[in-house]
Amino acid sequence: VTETVSVAQAAWEGLRLVAAWPNLLHVLGATVLAMVVAFLPGVSGVTLMTLAIPFTLSWDPVRTLLVFGPFVGGATFMGSVTAILFNIPGAAPSAATALDGFPMARQGRAKTALGCAALASALGSSFGVLVLILLVPVMRPATLAFGPPELAMLGLWGLVTIAAVVRGSIVKGLAAAGLGLLASFVGLDPRTGELRYTLGLPYLRDGLSVVVVLLGMFAIAEVIQLVVDDRGPASGGPRAERLTGSLREGAAAVFRHFGLFLRSSVLGTVIGAIPAVGGTVASFLAYGHAVQTARTGRDRFGHGDIRGVLAPEAAHDAKDGGSLIATLALGVPGSEGAALLLAVLTLHGLVPGRDLMTTQLPLVFVLIWSLFLSNWITSILGLSAASLLARLSVLRARRLAPLILGLAALGAFAHAGRIEDVVLAMACGVLGYYMRKHGWPTIPFVMALVLGRLFETNLHLAVRLHRLGRAEFWTRPIALALFVLSVITAALPFLRRKRPAPGTGAG
Amino acid sequence: VTRPPLRPEPPGREPQPAPARRRGARVSRRRVLGALGIAGGALLSGPGAWAQPSGGSGPCVPLAGKRVRWIVPHAVGGGHDADSRLIEPFLERRLGAEVVVENVPGAGGIVGATLLRDARPNGLTMGLVNGPGLLLAALTGDSAAPNPATDFAILGRIGRTQHVWATGSASPLRSVDLLLREAEKRAILVGSVDVGGTSFASVALIAPLLGIAVEFVAGFPSSRSAALAAMRGDVDVVSFSLDVLQPMLDSGDLTPLLQISARPLSSTRVLDGVPVLGGAAGLAIRRARSLKRDVAETGADTATVIALIGAGRLIVAPRGLDAGLFRCLAQELRGVLTDPGFEAAARASKRALDVADADGARAEIELAARRGEKFIPILRDTIRRMRR
């Protein structure tokens, strides 16, 4: 394609290319492959992409993009399946889904949680893709609009929402958040390059890996709990014949809380469009937002509230559309997967930027539609297997504990190939277990860890740019809006206290 | 693809396929990646690549049938990883050994490089390290960083780290002349990822040579985030490797200002007409003349800085290799790097080569380390100012 075509024509042409025989088979095959990989903790589509790159050199660009759509973000729902069933996040963003998804499985409502996650994931992804299509003409300014002041304020807003997710002792909750912030400071000081809290270990120079910490705090802590409690089913819930809940109930929850779904999807898309922020921040911010804005039953969060499954799933999958914005429009990848996508595009002579977004737009749409289809295929296939998967949650704990431990250790090792990561995951597992045992909430800890680095790095940059006269905070509307949002979020609990809550029971 | 004059491999020496895998050997992600890398290499080099006779003759016989760990101190998907997976199938066939690429990222390459340095020098552990990154870390006093000039047996160089100064396409500083003129009025703002790394040094050491003042805005989470800051106009200049900047230069989002090299970096058209720092007609010499500085000294200093920044991606093994083993490995690697099939594979993968044999690579890094010490106080001063 050599001439500039309109967005609508390009979208149609892209759809026609995807639907042409046997192109749909490529999407299906790549999706199934991505689903299998996404099911394994710590291993992601990035691994598949690395493996696939040598093969794609002899392929035409259309076939390559058809396959890379599912790899770059098409099967993320599968990572949530293990999060819901066993408290093992298949990828870091799925950890937020586990916060309420796993308690639901323990209550025998795994199918409900899976149904909700599958539909929220597919619809969230569709939302992201829709926004991507609508924003094609303004992709570049949209991505460039987020500089250090905006990102610092986004981080601040995320940190403020932590107050909303604290359960039980407010002192313990805030102390856990403080510990999480401290943990986020481990490694190189972004401003000066000095080492902080590394104990002289080169391993700690890059800071604590969020993926590894989450595997420890969730999966390994769960294994310890299983072994200590010596309970029957791994989920701690009822036996198979007593499984309650249904896929329909879970799917219906997406429409019952459609406002939350939309807000979470918008949040995911916006965060996806910002390079180097990522799905983990999107998921946890959406979770915090869900708790913060819940009018009823806020105490149910963390104990099996379906809104705690819906919000992170929608945000996580909507993020993929957004992250393509930065990669395709500016050649700036928003994630490791997007970086590999960029490498493949370059190898095929496709240069991200103006040309790709104008003269080669149909190829961009091949990628978009492939991603879109892949998310729906994943949800449909995942849902088909949901009944079977839900029964896994009632297997005997003693049989599953070694398997979960092995998978978590493998996931930690596969993340970067370092044995130290396995040790860190184990240490975090022990920490997570004791925190739970003594009533210290783990959610504020992990949220502060995820958001702390984003906030600190960008705060330093924003202050430095301000001092050098390059970033006037008061003249940046997005930064100001996020600051105002943070103030409102912080003030909400005090405003709510003045009027009694109308009751509980949502979800 | 550029290649300095190396003697080609004598005819008659044929690469050999890897031996069959041991039964029951551990199957890991790396192993799968390695296997796929071989497949990728075979795809790149065409059907003839598998038709080479097998064997295991020559001085590397002790390695035949063994498993060689190839350590990459950086993450999957980066330049060092891509280069390593390019080398892997060719080296396997030459050694008759199983070469397994292992990514050991962390601490800017220090974790993997330390593992390489501390491995047993028996030829079963090799790898590809970032020469300038390690050298700068070692020279500026990072006690954890291995010194590539003294801590390894250097077996060759696959390419150089080619840096370019660039600015946003909307910036008024559209050329290096405009930048120099602006620098007479104020300090130039430079976006940087870390403090003390190669990209940081590529500005901190070159700015004094050009007689300009710079202010760093350090701490961007990635090179691409810093490049975005240049596009937005938050900073005036970024300096990163051509690998990183190429997509943004190609798309016109960034404007190249200066090639940190003694000769044009690449055949890429986007750098046509962009001034080169070094060489007799380079910007540093022209600037020295206009500032009435010692031209000869400036020329020598510029050459040293370019050597320091562009020390390249070095193929190394632990120090203490048996002399025969060292010679054989160096010879086989030279054979790989000059193999037309390998060069074709590199071209297909768009990897820029600038190869050197063991002697050439070692001589350059030792010279860079020796002469580079003169510039370390400048670097340390800049870092100290950043930390104040």
Contact B39 A465 (CB under 8 A): no
| Nearest residue of chain A to residue B231 (CA atoms) | A144
When pLDDT is averaged across residues B48-71 and rounded to a whole number, the result is 65
| Nearest residue of chain A to residue B109 (CA atoms) | A202
Q: What percent of chain B has pLDDT over 70?
A: 84
- With contacts defined as CB-CB under 8 Å, which chain A residues touch B232? 144, 147
Is the preceding peptide bond at A22 cis, omega within 30 degrees of 0? Answer: yes
Instruction: Quote the tokens at residue B146.
Output: 């291995």
A vs B: CB pairs below 8 A: 165
Q: Which of A87-96, B64-73, B363-372 has the lowest mean pLDDT?
A: A87-96
Mutate which of A470, A473, A476, A478 to test chain B, going by most B C-beta atoms within 10 A? Answer: A470
**Cβ neighbours, 10 Å, residue B111:** 24
Give the Cα-Cα-Cα angle B233, B237, B241 (nearest 5 degrees): 125
- With contacts defined as CB-CB under 8 Å, which chain A residues touch B111? 202-203, 205, 418
Inter-CA distances, B366 with A231, B115, B159, B369, Å: 64, 22, 17, 5
Closest by alpha carbon to A416, among A101, A43, A92, A103? A43
User: What pLDDT band is residue B27 in, cutting at 50, 70 and 90?
Assistant: very low
User: Is residue B349 less than 8 Å (CB to CB) from chain A?
Assistant: yes
User: Is residue B344 less than 8 Å (CB to CB) from chain A?
Assistant: no
Q: How far apart are CA A468 and CA A129, in angstroms?
A: 38
Higher pLDDT, A451 or B171: B171
Residues forming beta bridges with residue B156, ordered by sequence position: B315
| Nearest residue of chain A to residue B222 (CA atoms) | A276
Q: pLDDT tens digit string along A185-237?
A: 999 888 888 889 999 888 898 899 888 898 888 888 888 888 887 655 555 55
User: Is residue B12 less than 8 Å (CB to CB) from chain A?
Assistant: no
DSSP labels, B236-268: SEEEEEHHHHHHHHHTTSEEEEEEESSS---S-
User: Is residue A321 less than 8 Å (CB to CB) from chain B?
Assistant: no
Q: How far apart are CA A281 and CA A290, in angstroms?
A: 14
User: Is residue A417 less than 8 Å (CB to CB) from chain B?
Assistant: yes
User: Is residue A350 less than 8 Å (CB to CB) from chain B?
Assistant: no
Of the candidates A54, A58, A470, the beta carbon closest to that of B189 is on: A470
User: Is residue A463 less than 8 Å (CB to CB) from chain B?
Assistant: no
When pLDDT is averaged across residues B255-276 and rounded to a whole number, the result is 87
Q: pLDDT tens digit string along A368-422?
A: 888 888 888 888 888 787 777 777 666 666 777 888 888 888 878 877 778 889 9
Contact B85 A54 (CB under 8 A): yes
Residue B231 pLDDT: 92
Q: What are phi and psi for residue B187, nearest 5 degrees?
A: -75, 145
Which amino acid would we find at residue B44?
A: L
- With contacts defined as CB-CB under 8 Å, which chain B residues touch A192? 195, 218, 386-387
Contact B111 A471 (CB under 8 A): no
Query: Is the whole model's pTM more than 0.80, yes or no?
Result: no
**Cβ neighbours, 10 Å, residue B13:** 14
User: Is residue A53 less than 8 Å (CB to CB) from chain B?
Assistant: yes
Positions of chain A with pLDDT lower than 70, given as ranges? 1-5, 39-45, 47, 50, 54, 74-75, 136-137, 167, 230-244, 275-277, 325-326, 332-336, 353-355, 358, 392-397, 496-507
ipTM over 0.85: no
User: What pLDDT band is residue B340 in, cutting at 50, 70 and 90?
Assistant: very high
**Cβ neighbours, 10 Å, residue B282:** 23
User: What pLDDT band is residue B58 in, cutting at 50, 70 and 90?
Assistant: low
- Residues A346 and B350 sit within 8 Å (Cβ to Cβ): yes
